[in-house]
Structure 1
Amino acid sequence: MGASIELEHLSKSYPGNPSPAVDDVSMEIRPGETVVLVGPSGCGKSTTLKMINRLIEPTSGRIRIDDEDVTRIDPVRLRRKVGYAIQSSGLFPHMTVAENIALVPKMVGWSKARVRGRVEEMLDLVGLDPGEFHGRYPRQLSGGQQQRVGVARALAADPPVLLMDEPFGAVDPVTRDHLQDELLRLQHELHKTIVFVTHDFDEAIKLGDRIAVLRERSRVAQFDTPEAILTNPADDFVSGFVGAGAALKRLHLTRVRDVEIAGFPTVSVDDSPRTVLDRLRGGPYDVVLVLDRHGRPHRWLRRGDLAPARGPAARAGRSVRGTVTRDATLRDALEAVLVDSAGRVAVTGWRGEYIGVVDLETLLNSVRETLEADRTAATGHRHDLEEARDHRTGAEPEGRA
């Protein structure tokens, strides 16, 4: 489980600089929540993060983790208790994947058997086959795989706190979406306290239980839930940072698991064309989803695709272009559905196994409900403001005489 974190009047000044890099920041973070620090480049968000594990020593103020003042303990011991993941993974290139993950558990004195078991557990947890990746070196991994190993290493010694400094900023957008979903899944299982730095407000909405929007010198402009920031930004600075399309950004707040995931006819790549045709004739759809031998979505297959000229059923039809997990946002799902000519997307588990499908109609209904709820909330907020104004001025509410 996670630990509470308290920042008390935290400041950082550098010699020769007349203004502090971080100026009098106070913040309370609850155990097990994900707090995202977001703000313009150079505002001090990474400096604030690094002071939590004292990679940067604060000039003044205190940091408490579970009520322990960590500014008074050995910084090396502190860092072994706080997981840390950075952009481009930060893996040691001369060490194998297993050696990178085992680094901190070995430092804190775990037995060889315990370390070996933990490495396999961590690889499995982040969706990498231990038998395949155990002995590889970082240069043999894709960018997304390296980031997964970086997260596994940060979690290896089971720390209550995980600090993440723009960990997904150096990968392509598709891989970034998958890594964000993976982090959401891990957090759903592990309940760590995560402090996450990003400059991408969409990423902050997707990942954060609460978001701290920071001005220059890490001064907190607003610290609240994503819903509250989107619907009631504190001032023009926060509104400008949220940007246009706040209603659409709300789609990051609802997950695929929150909408109806429908069943759909499926067949296996090993099924005969006759079996596939029988499945097509026996259902309400003129298409089936072909699953590979691991139960993962493989191809969309129509009746005409089984003509003799099209070859074996395993290679017929149209490849599945994309899938979403249950932790994906409605925005992710909507994008996947819109690029699919059939207007649907397959939903998978964390190992890629097929769960069901969501279609355009389901997503649009959810979008309409979200927008209607926002309109109702905005109307209520305006009504409350009008009543407060009338109370201050002594005016009768409209409709009374």
Structure 2
Amino acid sequence: MELENLTKRYHGNPQPAVDNVNMEIAAGETVVFVGPSGCGKSTTLKMINRLIEPTSGRIRIDGEDVTDIDPVGLRRKVGYAIQSSGLFPHMTVAQNIGIVPKMTGWPKSRIRARVEEMLDLVGLDPGEFHGRYPRQLSGGQQQRVGVARALAADPPVLLMDEPFGAVDPITRDHLQDELIRLQRELHKTIVFVTHDFDEAIKLGDRIAVLREQSHIAQFDTPEAILTNPADDFVSGFVGAGAALKRLNLTRVGDVEITDYPTATVDDPLQDILQRLRAGGTNEVLLLDKHGRPYKWLRRGDLMRAKGSLARAGTLVHDTVTRDATLRDALEAVLTDNAGRVAVTGRRGAYEGVVDMETLMNSVHEMLEADRLDALEHQHDLEESRAGQTRAEQEGGGPGERGAPA
């Protein structure tokens, strides 16, 4: 995708809302626009699918100039997901997801199969959610359906305008993880707008930090922006603790995930006790009928259970996926205050556990790498200064100019 001299002016306003934006986005890349409120990032996004018509400039997708084609046809080929999902309340989940394929003339059998595929892809059981209405869904479920609808017609480009901004922090983390997983499978070209720099670091292959009128302050990888912000404006977005923000660059799947003794709610109590003794830990993870983490059970809990697990143990309040960041995992471990967090896969199924020791080792390795990089940079700087001093001395440097013969 190419944005060339893209500009938007509104009548009566002497200053353009978006001024002369130039940008190239590679196929399959996730680019995040981040900037202060009112800087023009959403306006720039909406010009890509011509929800807002550009005043001047060009937009090319796969080499095709979309500023000269039918805007309605364009919007059917570009997925669009917004905050609060934007679902039609009078339509079922299946009807919402199938609306664009239906408008483009897909046969009913193909639409039905695609709806089931999309629900499964975003981690919702087709049998359970197919006939529900938006009001019957949680905020996180609505956002998943919104993403499924945006992807239903298999568009090459997906535009996302603060899609996770209206949900609670835990749900937001899981939706971000889901998007990362989807992108790994689908390889769409994604342009994502957010005001949350941590979200930008987590999701973006590259980040465009925008000033007013969408002027680009820096357009680079998250790691490059964290370690070498272009100016004070960009540094303001990075904020304090840049080293800790780098925890958003490493995934749970990149560190060691250990197995834990598990049991299901239907297992006999004696079998669970035996599994605990053989596992080498002082607790077992109880899974529900769908294989999802349900309760942590300690030895004492089992001894007091008196034949029933109904009131025994501690409910699992938080989990992370393999696509979650180390920062997500560290927050979950600290919140739980038990030194570990369960790792889940598709539809929340248990996959393993990551513990505090593993996370802290990763943090120490990251901080040590930063320390060595800083030392190397300092050494190179000193070498450069020493070389400059030698050159001045050998060639009659500034300190010798004008000296008496």
The residue that corresponds to 2:369 in the other structure is 373
What is the percentage of aligned positions where both structures have the same residue? Answer: 80
Q: CA offset at residue 286 of structure 1? A: 1.6
Is 1:212 matched with 2:193? no
CA deviation vs aligned residue, 1:183-237 (integer Å, no higher than 9, x gap): 1111111110100000000000010010000001000000000000000000111
The residue that corresponds to 1:276 in the other structure is 272
- Separation in structure 2 between the aligned mates of residue 207 and residue 267 of structure 1, nearest angstrom: 34
The one-letter code matched in structure 2 to 1:86 is I
The residue that corresponds to 2:111 in the other structure is 115
CA contact (8 A) 2:304 2:312 kept: no
The residue that corresponds to 1:321 in the other structure is 317
The residue that corresponds to 2:256 in the other structure is 260
The residue that corresponds to 1:250 in the other structure is 246
- Separation in structure 2 between the aligned mates of residue 152 and residue 220 of structure 1, nearest angstrom: 31
| Matching of residues 219-230 of structure 1 within 5 Å | 219-230=215-226
CA contact (8 A) 1:269 1:314 kept: no
The residue that corresponds to 1:136 in the other structure is 132
Gaps of 5+ in 1: none
The residue that corresponds to 1:347 in the other structure is 343
Q: CA offset at residue 376 of structure 1? A: 2.1
Equivalent in 168, 192, 195 of residue 196 of structure 1 = 192
Gaps of 5+ in 2: 394-405
TM-score normalised to the size of structure 2? 0.94
CA contact (8 A) 1:185 1:327 kept: yes
Q: CA offset at residue 121 of structure 1? A: 0.8
- Separation in structure 2 between the aligned mates of residue 274 and residue 311 of structure 1, nearest angstrom: 9
Q: CA offset at residue 385 of structure 1? A: 4.3
Q: Judging changes above 3 Å, is the alpha-carbon distance between structure 1 residues 142 and 283 closer, same or farther for their aligned structure 2 residues?
A: closer
The one-letter code matched in structure 1 to 2:230 is A
Q: Judging changes above 3 Å, is the alpha-carbon distance between structure 1 residues 381 and 26 closer, same or farther for their aligned structure 2 residues?
A: farther
CA contact (8 A) 2:35 2:211 kept: yes
CA contact (8 A) 2:305 2:312 kept: no
- Separation in structure 1 between the aligned mates of residue 23 and residue 305 of structure 2, nearest angstrom: 66
The residue that corresponds to 2:59 in the other structure is 63
Alignment RMSD (CA, Å): 1.6
Is 1:15 matched with 2:11? yes
Q: CA offset at residue 92 of structure 1? A: 1.1
Q: CA offset at residue 174 of structure 1? A: 1.2
- Separation in structure 1 between the aligned mates of residue 270 and residue 211 of structure 2, nearest angstrom: 64
Q: Judging changes above 3 Å, is the alpha-carbon distance between structure 1 residues 73 and 276 closer, same or farther for their aligned structure 2 residues?
A: same
SS class of match (1:347): strand
CA deviation vs aligned residue, 1:117-164 (integer Å, no higher than 9, x gap): 111111111111111111111111111111111101000000000000
| Structure of greater Rg | 2
- Separation in structure 1 between the aligned mates of residue 6 and residue 98 of structure 2, nearest angstrom: 33
- Separation in structure 2 between the aligned mates of residue 307 and residue 261 of structure 1, nearest angstrom: 29
The one-letter code matched in structure 2 to 1:138 is P
Query: How many pairs align?
Result: 393
The one-letter code matched in structure 2 to 1:358 is V
Q: CA offset at residue 263 of structure 1? A: 1.1
CA contact (8 A) 1:272 1:313 kept: no
The residue that corresponds to 2:47 in the other structure is 51
Q: CA offset at residue 340 of structure 1? A: 2.3
CA deviation vs aligned residue, 1:69-128 (integer Å, no higher than 9, x gap): 111111111111100000111111111111111111011111111011111111111111
93-102 or 81-90, which moves further after superposition? 93-102
TM-score normalised to the size of structure 1? 0.94
SS class of match (2:346): coil
The one-letter code matched in structure 1 to 2:217 is A
333-342 or 344-353, which moves further after superposition? 333-342
- Separation in structure 1 between the aligned mates of residue 334 and residue 325 of structure 2, nearest angstrom: 14
CA deviation vs aligned residue, 1:4-48 (integer Å, no higher than 9, x gap): x11111111111111111111101101101000000000000000
Equivalent in 91, 96, 107 of residue 92 of structure 2 = 96
The one-letter code matched in structure 1 to 2:176 is Q
CA contact (8 A) 1:310 1:316 kept: no
- Separation in structure 1 between the aligned mates of residue 253 and residue 353 of structure 2, nearest angstrom: 11
The residue that corresponds to 2:23 in the other structure is 27
CA contact (8 A) 1:390 1:396 kept: no
The one-letter code matched in structure 2 to 1:209 is D
